[in-house]
Each structure stands twice: as structure tokens, then as C-alpha cells.
Amino acid sequence: MTRVRCIVFNSALGALDYRLPPGMDAPAGSVVVVPLGPRQILGVVWDEGELPGEEGNDPWPEHKLRAVLEVLPVPALPAPLRRLIAWAADYYLAPLSAVARMALSSSAALKGSGTVTEYRLTGEEPARMTPQRLQALDLLHGEQATMRELAEIAGVSEGVLRGMVGQGLLEPVLVDSDRPYPAPDPHFAEPELAEQQAEAAAEMVAAVEAHRFQPFLLDGVTGSGKTETYFEAVAAALEAGRQVLVLLPEIALTAAFLGRFEARFGTQPVTWHSSLKASERRRAWRQVAFGGAKVVVGARSALFLPFADLGLIVVDEAHEIAFKQDDGVRYNARDVAVMRGHFEAVPVVLASATPALESLQMAEAGRYKRLVLPSRFGGAQLPRIEVVNLTELQPPRGRWLAPPLVEALQDRLGKGEQSLLFLNRRGYAPLTLCRHCGFRFKCPNCSAWLVEHRLSQRLACHHCGHEVPPPPVCPECGEPDCLVACGPGVERIADEVGELLPGARVAVVTSDTLASPAAAAEFVAQAESKAIDVIVGTQLVTKGFHFPELTLVGVVDADMGLDGGDLRAAERTYQQIAQVAGRAGRGAKPGEVLIQTRHPKAAVIAALASGERDAFYAAETEARREAGAPPFGRWAAIIVSSEDEAEARDAARAIGGARPDEPGVLILGPAPAPLSLLRGRYRYRLLIAARRSAEVQKLIRAWLAQLRFPQGVRVAVDIDPYSF
Ligand code: ADP
Ligand code: ZN
């Protein structure tokens, strides 16, 4: 009898043993269906030797073993990916099944091979409508997927959908989910590289050709042509017949990337992100696994895809905090990408104009190879940066743009050039209050104010999505027309621009307005065809975009990110402002950047104005070293939450009471977490600051293992948290 150990999904059970029926073959990595109680669930066969210590259970007596039901007809998860999954589960203290699950797709993708019947709406107007059918019509708009997937999407039973097929509302389509994608051509349009580009490219190409692990820090100023440079490494991987993964921090950036990729390689890459349709997702997953998807560009979730033969990983805008996942498995995609490169024995390129301090430190220590592109491509100059001191040059009351910025905007409009105003705040105003009684609109589920969105006429919570229409009277005192907006958001700045520059065409760019790749593509097309004069945007506009006619960037409030006492605040402010400044003057015309601040002497502002990046990073590095902060020390957080405040507090206290006493490990808290109420859950936090050499994971695991919590309590561990 053959015993196999499986990681089973949908459970906190860890690994379970099953037996293989005669004639069934299931090597490690095979995706299987196994019985669990009365149900059938998915699992992955795992080599016992590969399991991290805690996950294995005692061997189950042989006569009690149940049989594996089915081995699914997809390639077994390759050994390097299994090692990555086991490493991530161990490092981030996540259940192995939760990490393994990120490598898989829907069960239809796992089962379906060859031709699949999918369904889509016909556009017929139904004669007789039930609420369920209405719901399906609404939710299935634009979808095409199998019956089972559609039922999931629409939240109705398959029976309801079959009824709709009978009524002619849904129609079947036969699709071949195993058709490969067109292969990108490495020679389609080879650019002439500038000398600095060619040197950097040669290093990366050599590592790709050698199939050798090597992290690169591609450190090039904005507009230096980093993309064209790493495209050479992509071409080398394609030439060798291998696959490539490119990670981008935001879906909104993929639209621009797709166009550039197609111009270079003659066809678009395969995309992977949360807004893919079910049928696209199925095809993409299968082609990644079978090798028919050569280049995949995606958000961080693409990191765990089961590539058949990976040759290169690129993390673009690698400093971005969007690579940190903050719920479910809390991992940092940049760090996991480097580990995947290690296990796959392939180079990993981290590209950025403002690298994370951690990455620079790794380069300094010789672990990453730093490739520097010191100047812009094609002789374009870096923009001139000037500081507008708001304590001397104040905007008029109720306005946010100071006179020098207004003049600069008028000047560009007159010349037919584009401007960009950056303020990292969505909506119209961050706080709304009643002028009569002072009532402030607060989210019922979170410790946060409701943000007014005037374009969509909503007061919205940016943490849980709770929304209400602005009420006609104050809910507290009943006074009509009493609401006052406090502070600016991008929509309010856009209004101000509209008043100051009548006739200017203003576009607001945030995750609200650029929610889909299609909307992002539309925006890029408009900006490129000069149908927009002034862009007002959040951090979404700070990166990736290349608009040659954009010559002015205004930073509305450089101080915003500096408040709050977060140790990374200065670094993040530096990165955001340097990135947004990098949007100016990328074409033939020189760019100018105006930074509005009340603290012109702050180190970060001074460094931006003088262009002394290295000095700024050196000072930041010293500050971190002194504080024992990452990368010189290890940090972790334990977050305890419950819908019941007392329960959360008691659990946090119990954890605090059981704190281990370990030399070199400092444990702080529990204290209310920065968002002490989030999505209806009260949150407490403990912080762990340890020496670099401390085995923090082991310590936390042993610490929490002795405690039991009530049902409603959730305990999450965040290794390398972003704020402290
Ligand atoms: P970065 O990502 O470093 O900010 P980009 O890759 O966006 O810079 O390059 C800036 C501009 O220069 C883009 O329009 C790009 O197409 C162009 N460019 C860069 N390198 C080359 C090259 N070797 N040949 C032609 N155009 C290039
Ligand atoms: Zn909320």
C-alpha cells in the first residue's frame, strides 16, 4: 500500500495521510481530490521531508487511511514552487494550505482540459423576472464562464442559471481553454540601447543565460529607460524558451505596460490580476502551468503561479508598499520574489528609481548586484525642483494652491503643456462636520472619518467601503444645509483648478476613477493625445506613466505623510515625491517641480530640492541602525481582533501576560492598534523588536501555541510589518 501525505484545503488541519489506490500515481506536487469527513476537497501531495516541522501529524494507522479519489490532470506543482510555499508558510507563520492555495486556481481550471462549455448573457430582455434572475443579469454582465463559476459569481444556484438558458437569456459557447497564447518575439523591435543601458542589460542577460540565481537592483533615475533595459533580459529568457514573470504594484499600471511590451515583442503578455474574468483566469492559469504563457505580468498574487519553466522574475517599482499584502497571508511580494528566484535558480530584477532602504542595504552588503542608470534616456534633463514655503506664501483662505504654483499652472496652460498636481487623498474632503453642532461623520465599522466623494455624491469609509449619501440635515442636531467640508482631497483641488483656470481640461486620477485596466487605458490615451491639461491625482499617478508633454508637477502637501511618527515616513515621502517629480520633463521640454511645504528645512524636503539622494539614504540608514529597526533588526507584530471589544482586549492581555523573556527581544504592548476598530472588529497590537539574529518566528510560534482563545478572536502575525 502506498501512503501519501497531502496538504488539504478548507481546513486548519495541516497535512493528512491518505492511501493511493492501486494503479494511481501521484508524485509530490500532484493536485488531488480527497475525502474529508463527508466532503470531497482539494489537496496537494507533499513529500514528507519537505514539510516544515509543525505541519506534520502523527502517522495515522494504516487500516484507517482513506483513498485518494482523483489525481487532477494538471502538472504537479514543481519542486521549487513547493519549497517556496513551505518557506513562506514557515517565515510568515501562515498555514501551509493557505499559501499552497495561492498557487492554485478554480477547480474548473484544474479539472477542465480541452474544450469547455462556457455561458454568457445573450442580451435578451426577459419576459418574466424573478429577483434571482435579476440579480444574475446584473452580476453576470460582461462575464463568460462555466455554469459553476457563473453560479458562484452571481450568488445563485446552477438551477436558476439553467432556467435562464432555457429562456434564452444565457447562451453556451464552446471554448478551448488549452489554446496557447501567441509567443512574444524577442527580435520583434530591438531598440538601440544607450551605453549605460547596454552595460546593465549585459549583466542581466548573462545571469538569465546561465540559469543562475542573482538578485539585481536596477537603480535608475526616472526616465532612464529601466523598462527597455530589463526587456533585454526578458528577450534572453524567451530566446532560451523559458517563461518570465513581471510583477507590477498596481493593476492600473498594466495598461501602459502592455502597450510598451507589445511594441517591443509584437504581442501582449498574459495578465494576471483580481479583475480577470473567470474564463480568462482559467486559461491563463493552465497556460502558465503547461508552458503556453511565456510572459505573465501581474499583481503580487501572480508570484505563486505554477510556472512550468521559469527563467526570470522582474519586480518593477520594487519599492512600492503595494507589494506588501496586509490580510490573509501577510507577505511581502518583493522578498518572496527573491526567494522564488533562489529556489528556481533564476535572476530576479528589482527595478526602481527610489529603492527601498532594505534593497540598497542588500546591495551594499553584496547580496544584490546594483546596476545604476544615472541619467535620463535620450538626453532629457531631470526636472528643476523648487520648494514653496507655505508659511510665507499662503494660499487664500479655503484654497490650497499657493501663488507660485497657480502662476506656473497658468503658464503651462498658456503654452499648451500639461501639468500634474499630486495629493495623496481620494475624494473631496477627508472630514465633514456640522457647522451648527460640530458633529463629525464617522464610520460605524472603523475608527475613521467618512470621506466626502462629491463626484459620486457619497460619504465613504476608505477602510471598509461603508457608504452613505450626504444627508440633507445633520443627523445629530437636525439642522438643514449645515455640512462643511474640512481639508482637501483631489476632487476639491480639481475644483480649485477649474475656478482658477477656466477652460482647462482637468482629470481626477485615483483608484476610484481608474478602477479597471480599461479605464486606465482610456486615461493614458487621453493624456497622450493632449485631451487633458491638468491631472490631479493620488499616488496612482506617481509611477510608471510617461507623458512627454507634461512639464509641471505640483506637490500640494509634502508634509502629509510626515505626520504620524511612522519610522518609514521620511523614506516613503521621499519616494513618493521623487517618483511624482519624475513624471515632469520626460520629453524634449524641461520639467519643473514645485513642492508646497510648511517645513522647508526638513531633511527629506531639503534632499529632494538638492537632489542629494545618497546623502538622504545614508542619514536614514544611520537612523535605522541606531533604532535597531529593519534592516538592522527584526520586527513583527501580533494583531488580536474580535467583534467584541472586551474579548479582544482580554485576548491581547493574555498574550501579553505570556510574553517570553528572551535577551535581545523587546516586546511592547498590547495597545490599541492604529486603526483600533476596523470592519467591525476591535484591534489590539503587540510589537516585537528583536536583534537581526533572533529567531523571531520560532519564538512567536512557541509563545502563541500555549494559548487558547474564544471562537470570535482572531490572532494574526505580521512579520516585517510596514509601520511600527
Ligand atoms: P524609467 O522606467 O526608467 O522611468 P522608461 O523605461 O519609461 O524609464 O523610459 C523613458 C522613455 O525613454 C520611454 O519613452 C522609453 O520608451 C524611452 N527609451 C528608453 N530606452 C530607450 C531606447 N534604448 N531606445 C529608444 N527609446 C528608449
Ligand atoms: Zn469603515
Cβ neighbours of 587 (radius 10 Å): 16
* pLDDT bracket for residue 55 (50, 70, 90): very low
Q: For residue 225, how far is its CA from the centre of ligand 1 (angstroms)?
A: 4
Is the model's pLDDT at 13 over the cut of 80?
A: no
Domain match, 282 and 355 both: yes
Is the model's pLDDT at 126 over the cut of 80?
A: no
pLDDT at 145: 83
Mean pLDDT of the chain: 90
Its domain, for residue 250, covers 195-373
Domain match, 538 and 578 both: yes
Q: For residue 643, how far is its CA from the centre of ligand 2 (angstroms)?
A: 14
The domain boundary residue, chosen from 352, 373, 394: 373
Is the model's pLDDT at 447 over the cut of 70?
A: yes
Decide if 424 is inside a domain. yes
Straight-line distance from the first to the last Cα atom of the chain, in angstroms, rounded to the nearest whole number: 52
Of 54-58, 320-324, 528-532, 679-683, least confident by mean pLDDT is 54-58
Q: For residue 97, how far is its CA from the centre of ligand 1 (angstroms)?
A: 42
Give the position, in ligand 1's atom list, of the atom nearest the Cα of 373. 3
Decide if 639 is inside a domain. yes
Give the position, in ligand 1's atom list, of the atom nearest the Cα of 316. 2
Domain match, 443 and 505 both: no
Do 304 and 99 contact (CB within 8 A), yes or no? yes
Query: Which of 546, 547, 549, 579 maximizes ligand 1 atoms within 8 Å of its Cβ, making it the mutation to test the pocket?
Result: 546
The domain boundary residue, chosen from 104, 128, 159: 104
Decide if 187 is inside a domain. no
Average pLDDT over residues 691-714: 92
Domain match, 473 and 566 both: no
Decide if 207 is inside a domain. yes
Domain match, 423 and 439 both: no
With pLDDT > 90 as the criterion, what percentage of the chain qualifies?
Answer: 64
Domain match, 493 and 600 both: yes
Domain match, 649 and 607 both: no
> Which residue's CA is the closest to the ligand 1 atom numbered 27?
225
CATH of the domain at 578: 3.40.50.300
Domain match, 406 and 514 both: yes
Decide if 109 is inside a domain. no
The domain boundary residue, chosen from 596, 622, 648: 622
Domain match, 437 and 422 both: no
CATH of the domain at 7: 3.40.1440.60
Decide if 185 is inside a domain. no
Decide if 627 is inside a domain. no
> Which residue's CA is the closest to the ligand 1 atom numbered 15?
225
Residue-wise burial string across 652-676, b where 16 or more C-beta atoms lie within 10 A, e elsewhere: beebbeebeebeebebebbebbeeb
**Count of domains forming the chain:** 6
The more confidently predicted of residues 267 and 150 is 267
Mind listing the pLDDT tens digit for each residue in 246-269?
A: 999 988 778 889 989 999 999 999
Global model pTM greater than 0.95: no
Domain match, 149 and 240 both: no
Query: Which of 197, 227, 260 maximizes ligand 1 atoms within 8 Å of its Cβ, making it the mutation to test the pocket?
Result: 227
Give me the interface pTM, i.e. the ipTM. 0.97
Domain match, 256 and 337 both: yes
Q: For residue 198, how far is its CA from the centre of ligand 1 (angstroms)?
A: 13
CATH of the domain at 656: 3.30.70.600
Ligand 1 pocket: which residues have CB below 6 Å? Answer: 191-194, 197, 220, 222-228, 377-378, 546
DSSP code for 470 = P
Decide if 591 is inside a domain. yes
Report CA torsion sign: 244, 248, 250, 252: negative
Beta bridge partners of 429: 452
Binding-site residues from annotation for Zn(2+): 434, 437, 443, 446, 461, 464, 474, 477
Domain match, 148 and 260 both: no
Backbone angles phi, psi at 514, to 5 degrees: -115, 45
> Which residue's CA is the closest to the ligand 1 atom numbered 10?
223
